[in-house]
């Protein structure tokens, strides 16, 4: 049995990364690289399951790498590469397409959300996307996967696929069952305009999210305009259960300031939301704008970013090829 701990995670290069990506995933990526071997992948093949403008896609891949570095990933410690540069991902995805069940995919809520009422018109890639995600993880026999709560169901599917593969091919423990690492308090950062929807790159209004590249001015404006509540702030966050926008602002403030949420409630109790907003904007500006500045600086040297991807690809390929060889043997492919 593979007992070695290994972290794998991926981020789609579909434009501006935002505060949800940062608190739900990237910050965790950075702390994990101190303790374990980590592989972080820019999942370009996942991105093309919905149409991407080719020239923008290339830029978005490089910008995602720049965001990885700007938030603190170190390419000397972690493997950073783009998915399409290691073709073993798609080869394993095909094998796993034959292990995974249609009934399992039919239950995936993200497909239903993304395809909406236009299921018949969605790409086949979007439908089998979770199998490719399982391939990403299992290709490296990853044991831990840091993600936000929206990816939990996909992780469960990856575990089901791993288990079925191990059983079908009579190789108990061949694939470890990957553990999701989901942050407790910020597993789902919500939209600033609608607290029932997650903050996302695809929501039309830019006012719904804080982008890592936003200026201080933009952050201030977005927080000022964010939906909150006309009552004053209560003394307990449980009283905000039916006020998701207000709770979201409190949660973000607690997380970014690294103050326990109960302490935040004591600090804020009885005050207007405008008071919280001023504090929140200040703290976000000091945490996020240096990241944005660094992303811009890194984007000035695209050759450097491409070099990081190339080195990462070389390292990832060694692990991927070795594992794929064993997987092919298990399946009986010559």
User: Which residues are the active-site residues?
Assistant: 114, 198, 201
Look at phi and psi of residue 250 and say left if phi exceeds 0, alpha if psi is from -120 to 50, else beta: alpha
CB of 137 to ligand TYM, least distance (A): 5
Q: How far apart are CA 224 and CA 217, in angstroms?
A: 11
CB of 235 to ligand TYM, least distance (A): 26
Taking CB under 6 A as the rule, does residue 136 contact ligand TYM?
A: yes
CB of 146 to ligand TYM, least distance (A): 7
Which strands form 37-42's sheet, in the order they lie side by side? 79-82, 37-42, 6-11, 144-146, 179-181
Binding mask 144-183 for ligand TYM (x = CB under 6 A): -x-xx-xx--------------------------------
Look at phi and psi of residue 293 and say left if phi exceeds 0, alpha if psi is from -120 to 50, else beta: alpha
Query: Quick check: helix, strand or coil at residue 42?
Result: strand
Choosing from 6, 7, 16, 25, the residue that interacts with ligand TYM (CB under 6 A) is 25
Which residue, 42 or 265, has its beta carbon nearer to ligand TYM?
Answer: 42
Among 89, 100, 176, smallest CA distance to 135 is for 89
Which residue, 19 or 285, has its beta carbon nearer to ligand TYM?
Answer: 19
Return the residue matching tokens 């200040």: 282
Taking CB under 6 A as the rule, does residue 188 contact ligand TYM?
A: yes
Q: Which tokens go with 297?
A: 């600086």
CB of 11 to ligand TYM, least distance (A): 4
Which residue, 199 or 291, has its beta carbon nearer to ligand TYM?
Answer: 199
Phi, psi of 8 (to 5 degrees): -135, 135
Q: Which residues bind ligand TYM (CB under 6 A)?
A: 8-12, 20-21, 24-25, 43, 46, 133, 136-137, 145, 147-148, 150-151, 188-189, 198-200
């Amino acid at each position: 049995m593979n007992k070695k701990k290994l972290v794998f995670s991926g981020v789609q290069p579909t434009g501006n990364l935002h505060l949800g990506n940062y608190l739900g995933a990237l910050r965790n990526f950075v702390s994990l690289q101190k303790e374990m071997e980590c592989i972080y992948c820019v999942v370009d093949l996942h991105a093309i399951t919905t149409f991407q403008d080719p020239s923008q896609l290339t830029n978005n891949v490089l910008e995602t790498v720049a965001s990885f570095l700007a938030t603190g990933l170190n390419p000397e410690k972690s493997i950073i590469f783009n998915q399409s540069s290691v073709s073993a991902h798609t080869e394993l995805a095909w094998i796993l397409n034959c292990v995974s069940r249609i009934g399992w995919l039919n239950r995936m809520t993200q497909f239903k959300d993304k395809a909406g009422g236009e299921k018949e018109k969605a790409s086949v890639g979007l439908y089998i996307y979770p199998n490719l995600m399982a391939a990403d993880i299992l290709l490296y026999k990853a044991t831990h996967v840091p993600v936000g709560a929206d990816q939990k169901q996909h992780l469960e599917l990856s575990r089901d696929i791993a288990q079925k593969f191990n059983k079908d091919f009579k190789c108990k423990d061949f694939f470890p069952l990957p553990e999701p690492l989901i942050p407790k308090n910020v597993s789902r950062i919500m939209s600033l305009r609608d607290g029932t929807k997650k903050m996302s790159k695809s929501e039309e209004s830019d006012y719904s999210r804080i982008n890592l590249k936003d200026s201080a001015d933009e952050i201030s404006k977005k927080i000022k305009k964010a939906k909150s509540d006309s009552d004053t702030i209560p003394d307990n966050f449980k009283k905000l259960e039916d006020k998701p926008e207000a709770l979201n602002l409190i949660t973000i403030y607690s997380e970014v300031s690294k103050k326990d949420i109960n302490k935040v409630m004591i600090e804020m109790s009885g005050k207007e939301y405008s008071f919280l907003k001023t504090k929140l904007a200040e703290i976000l500006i000091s945490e996020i704008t240096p990241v944005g500045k660094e992303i811009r600086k890194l984007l000035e040297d695209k050759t450097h970013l491409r070099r990081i991807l190339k080195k990462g690809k070389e390292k990832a390929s060694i692990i991927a090829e070795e594992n794929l060889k064993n997987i092919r043997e298990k399946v009986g492919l010559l």
